[in-house]
Structure 1
Amino acid sequence: MIKYLILFSIAILFINSLHLYGQDKARIAALETSLQNAKTDNARLQILGDLCWNYSFISFDKSLAYGQQELKLAQTMRNDTAVALAYSDIGIVYTRSNELNEALSWHQKSYALRTKLGLKDKAAASISNIAVIYKQQGNYDKALESMMDALKIYTDINDLPKKALVLNNIGLLYMKYNKQEEGKKYLLEALAIAKQLKLTALESTCYYSLGTYEYNRKNYPAALKLCLQSLDIKIKLNAQADIGIQQNTIGEIYEKQKKYPAALAWFQKSLKIREELKDQLGVASVYKNIATVYTGQGKYDDAERYLLKSISVFSKLNAKDYLQDAYLLLASNNEERKNDHSALVDYKRSIDIKDSIINRESLNKINELEIKYQTAQKEQRILLLSKQNQIQQLEINNQKLKVERRNTMMAVGIVVLLMVLAFGWLFYNSYKLKQEARLQVEIIRQQDIATQGIIAAEERERKRIAADLHDGVGQLFSAVRLNLSSLMDRIPFAKPEDKDLAERTVMMVDESCREVRTIAHQMMPNILLKTGLASAVKDFISKIDAEKLKVTLETSGLNERLDSNTEIVLYRVIQECVNNAIKHAAANRLDIQLDRNETEISVTVEDNGKGFDTSDKEKFEGIGLKNILTRLAYLKGSADFSSAPGKGTLVAIYVPLT
């Protein structure tokens, strides 16, 4: 079982320090350099506290040494507030090394002094630390009472970070009472505050706590995911003590899944760190978990050796919670080896340690072991008297086994046949689906080719008509204009009205020439082929009378040319939208935006005209709008029409570029 007390210590240590959470080598080196250069006692006091905190994650001896220096300097300065903080820092060091009696003594000193000084919030931190130790010692009632007192103080003073940490610890303690869902509520509330305040270390602690919840529910994949998520944060923070704790927990998860090699690998990682930190309780905890793996592998002698080593340390440290689990595991080990008498003794020890709480389940287990022990003695006597009966029974069983083996072979044959039929059906169905998918892809490809051919043919026809208009009709109009001018020079006009009529006729011919040229250019503008979409649109709108319709154009991302087909289609679509605004909208303003990014090009055409009802399907039956949608479908694009009577029209066009 994952030990909830581990999470308590992680969280509460954070409460008690105003120092930054982090103990990387660069920071520690910088602090030690600053200590040598510090010019005032106040500066030295702050740095000593920071060093005590940072080293508490990686070196018990150095952390304790700096904590004692901090206390000595605070006493010399006669700064009671600093003395109380030094008491707390030293208590944290002992808590991290799992020397619980020493830790409790120092935190009680800190609490008494802070209460005397009226430091309400600091006293609450001391209460929280004391609660952690009570919990580790198995005194859950006092632990919960202390946590509730601390929670009330933090709620009153609206200290959200510390409130969240206490909520996390209360949730874990509720789960220790086997009230999983009540505990989860507290954990989720703590996690919400951590995310709101962006407290990375606290968020990691909450993930780990929720991993404990999932572990208790035997949802091991979810528990593993949450613990690995928390471990990743601890590694980034270089929190060695916490890394060792969580590696041990991950090993427990793998052990529950019977992935014994993986479990042993994680336990060995944890053991290395805890030995380096001189964490006796942590080392013993890993011993107990390694014994669990060996028990699962049937290596009962190896398991017993590790269990006895862990029990020795747990007894020395008075770690009842751990000791109870160790004796329970030792009882299970002896039970597997048919050593029922020893199993009964160890199980009774486990129950006695568990705060004298003897429930129905525990009594049933004790009775079961007693019955098994007595039954084993009787079976030895019966065994001597019933050998003949056993031999006969073995012969009968042998006959039954042959029959069962024959039936089993028949059943296996039937199952294999059914599996072959099932795989055959699955293969056929998969082949059929693949063929249908290929057919659908080919249909879409043919549709694209057809659409592309239609649009290409349309553009070729536009080019031909434009060339005919420019080179044929245009030239004829030019010749007519030349002949008329020559005729006017040769023929005298008897009346001024005749001359005026001739001049108007020449003007009409000139206007016709310009109109033909404009139509030809619109059908296939040379500027589109030469300089691209943006220039072509700008040239197109420059020919519109600004007094009747003011048109603005904004472009971005069009420094490079688009594919020629894309440019032609978009030019035609914009041309159609502008023509619709001129013909139908009665607008006096038109805004065009062209924007290109890495994945798409978007076009918006918006006018302030009379608009139309977009829910009226008849409005979309016209050739113009159909052409817009058809052309865009060729480019895998789309067009959205947003309009209402009297509110203008917005056409939004999107064309993917990839």
Structure 2
Amino acid sequence: MAKLIKSLFCCIVFAYSAMAQVPLNDLAYTDSLSAILNGQHNDSSKSGAAFQLTEYYAQKDTIRAMQYLQQSRAWLGNSPLLRALYPYYYGLLLARTQPPLAEAQFLLADSLLKKIPGSASCGFQARAWQKYGVLQQVKDNEEAYMDIIIHKVMPLARQAGDSIFIGKSLLDLGIVFKNNAKRDKAEAYCLEAISVLKGREGAESLLVEVYYTIAENYILSGKNPQARAMLDSAWVLLSPYPESDKVIDYYGAEGMYYTMQAQFDKALGSLDKGIQLARRRGLRYEGQRLELQQFYAYYNQKNFAKAKEVMLRLMQQPEMMARANNRIQLYYGLAETYRALGQMTPAYQWLMSFSQLSDSLSASRSRNEISALEAKYRNAESRKRISVLEAASESSSLSARNTLLTLWLLAAVSIALVIASAFTLFYYRNNKKLSEQKEINYQQQLREMEQQQQLGISRAMLEGEERERRRVARDLHDGLGGMLAGVKIKLSNLGAGHDHHAALHNIVGQLDSSMKELRLIARNLMPESLLKFGLETALKDLCESLRSERTQIDFQAFGIEPDIAEPVQVTIYRIVQETLTNAIRHANASEILLQCSQNGDAFFITVEDNGKGFDLSGIANAAGIGMSNIKNRVKYLKGKLDISSVLNEGTTINIELNVGD
């Protein structure tokens, strides 16, 4: 039964991954969307609210979801994005009842969205492919699902800059590894998802799902303290919203935790809380999933009568019986329960039903168990006949024949068990080899993705350096070269004029300007103060050189350590230089605040100005060399870049860099 408990909870976690991501306070969420539909808002806002309500009710109330989807059509207008999103939300509505049609809708949405530029269309492309992949997973094609997540969903989510959906993709990979008993891999992906999602606004609901998943993975790995810690982390987020749908799943995970520790009363208590909440929310299937977990608690508690009562009740529920995975659980659970009660005939019948429905390894193992159970059943029937014959006659010859028959039956049972064990061992070894090969393939794909990303970053850095060299050459030729050429011409003509004093004064002035230009170019190439006195002094000199009557720069430094590696210091200097230059040249700022601080291996840069600002919607496609250089250098130091800007009010740039070895 322990194996069935583990497979049951894998099915429950899969249900998590297919659900829509909504805030934990889902009641306030739906109320706010309904207010938009009924208020004075533009068509775009109303269509977006109708789409979100469609997704929310798609798994709860299909009639209501269809009503919202139909309402959305009145507000689509001529917007290409809204029209491309309609098949995506229609696919969500069809996913449970008509999977083939849902697949077609998701592919249609992708084909329409890829024609629309921008991060929003990329983000919805990622979602369409994720939903398409889930439908492949439902068909037990996990290889296709993994391929879609790795090669479709995650690249599109990164292109859209959607960190939350990247976290969801990592969770999906973790669930696949968990379902295939790759506990270490599942843990690694879940921990990475937590690092991506933790602290991000709007990620609380998805973060709770990650906590459930890794908690269940720890439970199945026997790491109970870690599992309890993850459940507690989930409850910290859930406790303000005791009526949230996510609380139902929390009680399910907690019930699993107590069941696997043989604390059955606590398990039943947690599961009952979840069942009552599901009934209050009208979520029939969610409540039935928790009732199925109650069966395992009762069974392992050896309360077989109560376990049978739960299973027979679930057999009458259309929501539970609609899914083949659930029927497999119910059939096998009833077979085991009747066997424990000593009722071999119904146990054999339910095990036959289980065998007809299951496939692959589960089917193979069930057939072996059926053979053993059938032999026991026939053995019991034979013994009944033997008893009748012995009562009718005390003939020694008849007793001998009956004894011989019993020995033959026992021998048959032993042979059947040996054959079953041999087939199970053979199948297990083959399946293990296939799983190891799949894991090698998955890791190779991930390594190739990382290598491509590193190559892209290196290429961008080299191109930036090449542009810098061209700029220096242009400055030398057009600036300093022209000035010195003028000096040469005037010195050549000096003898032909009369006012030598005025001419010499003019030439000295030009030479002075040439020297200033030379110093400026030298500072741009490599500031001497950086090499001699360190980063903080160089930044102070940079601010002094850029400060003017129309532009004031306030520089503040906190805890900058002198032992930062020289290449890192140069990179930080270039980042600050580009941000200040952009603020002066492009934003026309009159006041600039520059703050630089260090905390261990983390280096923080903040640049605030009161310039004219800009539209952030175009920053992802910005073609300016300055902004491109900033982004590439931040990536080079494994940093993070955050820009906020308001038109006619100013811009704030926050940068976090890794300056460790």
For CA contacts below 8 A with separation 6 or more, give which structure has more relative contact order.
1
